[in-house]
Amino acid sequence: MMRDILVTNDDGYNSLGIRLLTAKLAKYGKITVVAPHRHMSGASVSRVSWHETVVHQHEDNIYSVDGTPADAVSFALHGLKLKPKLVVSGINNGLNLGSDTVYSGTVGACMEALKHGLPAIAFSADFNHFEPADKEFDKVMEFILSNELISHKYLLNVNFISRNYETSKGILITDLGFRIEDNYYIKTENGSFQNRRRIGKGKPQSGTDLFAEAFGYISITPLKFANQTPEGLKELKDKVNQIE
């Protein structure tokens, strides 16, 4: 099915991942790229261009924005007046698993799309290891399309296999996994502080994206927009005896 597709990312409009993504998606529809002008990892759904931004046009269908991934999506929809049927973000240089999805600009771009009622997919590969994405992208897209996984209710967060595997064992639909992290800071020679983290060891919980990554599977995780929590809402209403 051919469709208008908006492509974005958080690594910058000319990064290897977005060039690979654009080439892979060409068979699925008409592509327009609107992405940050510079590397903007960790931006989540933050916005810096509420009032003013600089936009660079590089080709007829390639633009970059001096802002975040969410800024890029917003400008595409409201500045360029694009009407994509699908927004695709990535391919990120680094896996977006578990709690990393809270900070991810790759995911943040998709959240901005979802806010406007557009289905979205975020793709990520292991750091500086795009070979699995190159080899298995079509398999994943066909899996998504043939099973009608694309939705207006949630985005799809896709992670290709880690560098520990040459070929995936398959595709798993997963939940978010969470792991213990030890965050610490080191003081640099110029007096600034640099954040580091150690990932805790242990077998990840079955059925999660971390499990898929550890055992050589591609993961597809649905993520809802914003911070809705049906469980929390029910719990609070039960505590105050609020009747529907």
Q: Evaluate whether 242 touches 195 at the Cβ level (below 8 Å).
A: no
Mean of pLDDT over the chain: 92
22 or 225: which leads in pLDDT: 22
The CATH number for 191's domain is 3.40.1210.10
Answer whether residue 118 is part of any domain: yes
- Give the range with max mean pLDDT: 40-44, 79-83, 223-227, 235-239: 79-83
Residue given tokens 């903007």 in the structure block: 40
Does 244 map to a domain?
no
Q: Tell me if 156 sits within 8 A of 121, measured CB to CB.
A: yes
Predicted confidence (pLDDT) per residue in 60-72, tens digit: 999 999 999 999 9
Residue 2 in this model has a pLDDT that exceeds 70: no
User: Secondary structure of the chain in the HEC alphabet?
Assistant: CCEEEEEECCCCCCCHHHHHHHHHHHHHEEEEEEEECCCCCCCCCCCCCCCCCCEEEEECCEEEECCCHHHHHHHHHHHCCCCCCEEEEEEEECCCCCCHHHHCHHHHHHHHHHHCCCCEEEEEECCCCCHHHHHHHHHHHHHHHHCCCCCCCEEEEEECCCCCCCCCCCEEECECCCCCEEEEEEECCCCCEEEEEEECCCCCCCCEHHHHHHCCCEEEEEEECCCCCHHHHHHHHHHCCCCC
pLDDT of residue 51: 79
pLDDT score for 72: 97
**202 vs 192: which has the higher pLDDT:** 192
Which among 103, 72, 106 is positioned nearest to 90, based on CA atoms?
A: 106
Prediction pTM value: 0.90
Structural domain boundaries enclosing 141: 3-239
The predicted pLDDT at position 179 comes to 78
Confirm whether 117 is domain-assigned: yes
- How far apart (Å, rounded) are the C-alpha atoms in residues 179 and 204? 8
Q: Tens of pLDDT along 129-140?
A: 999 999 999 999
* pLDDT higher than 70, residue 1: no
Domain count, the chain: 1
Pairwise CA distance, residues 69 & 75, whole Å: 10
Residue 201 pLDDT level (bands cut at 50, 70, 90): confident
Q: Is the pLDDT of residue 149 over 90?
A: yes
Instruction: Return the pLDDT at 61.
Output: 96
- pLDDT at residue 82, as a whole number: 97
User: Residue 231's pLDDT band (boundaries 50, 70, 90)?
Assistant: confident
CA distance 29 to 141: 13
pLDDT at 78 over 80: yes
Query: How far, in Å, are 64, 146, 170, 196 from residue 85 at the CA level?
Result: 20, 17, 27, 39
Q: Is residue 58 part of a domain?
A: yes
Residue 214 lies in a domain: yes
Cα–Cα dist 120/188, whole Å: 39
Cα separation, 67 vs 55, whole angstroms: 9
pLDDT tier for residue 184 given thresholds of 50, 70 and 90? confident
Flag whether 142 is in a domain. yes
